[in-house]
């Protein structure tokens, strides 16, 4: 399945800018770790229907808990062809652990993962301690207590991450242990069994 097929596939839902959503698709620009536009002008954001339903619930939670705030989405459905480009750049380096091997695929490649952060009512992104695709221990949720103890992460930055995590997990998403911005709509074993990868 290709991106062109996704557009007309009823199992996929397009996520658009709206009252609780702003898009900043990093891989459709040069503002990403590869410094290359990997989506070739494809500036649309999709999730499989099951993931989109959970994201709708996340938007409802955000509206109730933090009126005026928005999700800022960096990536969602990602073709495996793009995943292969990522892999070429990190395989054999310390950053390899932060990028899924394209052979089994990332959950992004199945349309069931989303990369995002929060922006406040003034349009300012919350300080999470690192930028998107930081590829260092500073981005890892599993390391947060050690990061806090060392001073690499401030209490305010950790509190912001917890706000995002609370909203997303209440909506049914699963936090990726290596990246504070990455959430899966389904466990990998289920996603890879039930759905076809997008090439």
Q: Cα(85)–Cα(78) distance, rounded to whole angstroms?
A: 11
**Residue 134 in domain:** yes
**Residue 40 in domain:** yes
Q: Cα(70)–Cα(66) distance, rounded to whole angstroms?
A: 9
Residue-level pLDDT at 2: 61
**Residue 199 in domain:** no
Q: Report CA 72 to chain centroid distance, whole Å.
A: 10
Helix 49-65 with 155-170: angle, nearest 10 deg: 130
What is the share, in percent, of the chain residues with pLDDT greater than 90?
A: 92
**Residue 25 in domain:** yes
Q: What is the number of structural domains in the chain? A: 1
Q: Cα(58)–Cα(62) distance, rounded to whole angstroms?
A: 6
Model pLDDT for residues 65-76, shown as the tens digit of each residue: 999 999 999 999
The answer to whether the beta carbons of residues 139 and 179 sit under 8 Å apart is yes
**Averaged confidence pLDDT in the chain:** 95
Global pTM reads 0.96
The answer to whether the beta carbons of residues 180 and 161 sit under 8 Å apart is yes
Q: Cα(180)–Cα(187) distance, rounded to whole angstroms?
A: 17
CATH of the domain at 147: 3.30.1380.10
Q: Are strands 21-23 and 70-75 parallel, antiparallel or unpaired?
A: parallel
Query: Averaged over 155-166, what is the pLDDT?
Result: 98
Structure tokens at 157: 């930055």
Domain around 17: 3-194
Res. 14 pLDDT band, cuts 50 70 90: very high
Between 2 and 122, whose confidence is greater? 122
Model pLDDT for residues 30-41, shown as the tens digit of each residue: 999 999 999 987
């Amino acid at each position: 399945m290709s991106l062109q097929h996704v557009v007309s596939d009823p199992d996929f839902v397009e996520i658009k800018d709206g009252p609780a959503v702003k898009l900043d698709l990093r891989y459709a620009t040069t503002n990403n770790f590869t410094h290359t536009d990997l989506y070739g002008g494809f500036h649309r954001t999709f999730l499989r229907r099951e993931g989109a339903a959970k994201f709708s619930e996340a938007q409802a939670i955000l509206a109730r808990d933090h009126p005026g705030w928005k999700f800022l989405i960096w990536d969602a459905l990602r073709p495996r062809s793009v995943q292969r480009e990522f892999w070429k750049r990190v395989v054999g380096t310390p950053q390899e652990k932060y990028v899924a091997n394209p052979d089994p695929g990332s959950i992004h490649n199945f349309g069931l993962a989303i990369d995002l952060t929060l922006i406040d009512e003034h349009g300012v992104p919350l300080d999470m301690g690192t930028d998107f695709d930081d590829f260092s221990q500073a981005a890892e949720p599993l390391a947060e207590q050690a990061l806090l103890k060392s001073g690499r992460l401030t209490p305010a930055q950790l509190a912001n991450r917890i706000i995002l995590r609370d909203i997303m997990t209440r909506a049914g998403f699963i936090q990726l242990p290596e990246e504070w911005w990455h959430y899966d709509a389904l466990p990998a074993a289920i996603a890879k069994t039930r759905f076809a990868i997008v090439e």
